[in-house]
Amino acid sequence: MLLKGKSAIVTGAAQGIGREIALELAKQGCGVTLADLNDASSTAAAIADLGGQAATSLTDVSNSRDVDALVETAIASFGRLDILVNNAGRQTWAPLLELAEESWDRTLAVNLKGTFLCTQRAARWMKDHGGGRIVNLGSGCNKHAFPNLVDYTASRGGVEMFTKSAAVELGRYGITVNCVAPGAIETERTKLEVADYAGSWSALTPLGRIGQPRDVARMIVALCGDAGEFVTGQTIWVDGGLFSRAPWVE
């Protein structure tokens, strides 16, 4: 167990990639606090089935009082906080000229402000207790402009630069901050985006397949273990080479 005795917070842990991250951390011996706007009890039950420990917190990451309560829950449950994974996110499918102001505000509040609030509150505790690891979730929108995702793209670009700035400031306290940017990952949500999600994206991915949530989760475990001790301020692409490939006429 690479993380035995550690304590982690994972936001957006009720389903999808966040759920898998929480499960993988638990498999490595980590006590996990599951934060989500929705009930994360099924993830907690799955962790218990693995022999692990989990606490749950109904949390709006854009609300500072909720985030304060989340950190308090993690510390009360496990006596420490070593790892934060900022996974909670939302997106709006809409052209720029039709995007509602409320959608822009909510996406930036969850994806960018939420990352800021959770990082700030967790890092304040880590600073006085020997350091820690923070991992922010990005996406292909960190690097490329996707149509009809203007609010999401803006927020993910912000998360990448926030990661770098936070890494520079927090390094002196023994806190690493990195961004993990998934490519085409098969989840219940992404499978609804196109009729043949796996077939469409695997054809564009140099490794010839789409990603699974466990691909992302295992990279996060690596960054949070001894192997990630001297890695900070970086964006790690978990995309099978997808976003390294330029469009090319053959």
- What's the full length of the chain, in residues? 250
Please identify which of the residues 78, 104, 152, 237 carries the catalytic annotation.
Answer: 152
Is 152 annotated in the active site? yes
Comparing CA positions, the residue from 175, 142, 140 lying closest to residue 160 is 142
Q: What contacts 68, CB < 8 A, 6 or more positions away? A: 121
H or E segment to which residue 144 belongs: none
Structural tokens at position 15: 């389903």
Give the chain as a DSSP string. -TTTT-EEEEES-SSHHHHHHHHHHHHTT-EEEEEESS--HHHHHHHHHTT--EEEEE--TT-HHHHHHHHHHHHHHHS---EEEE-------B-GGG--HHHHHHHHIIIIIHHHHHHHHHHHHHHTTT-EEEEEE--GGGTSPPTTBHHHHHHHHHHHHHHHHHHHHHGGGTEEEEEEEE-SB--TTGGGTSTTHHHHHHTTSTTSS-B-HHHHHHHHHHHHSGGGTT--S-EEEESTTGGGPPP---
Beta strand spans in 29-153 (E): 31-36, 54-58, 83-86, 132-137
- Positions marked active-site: 152
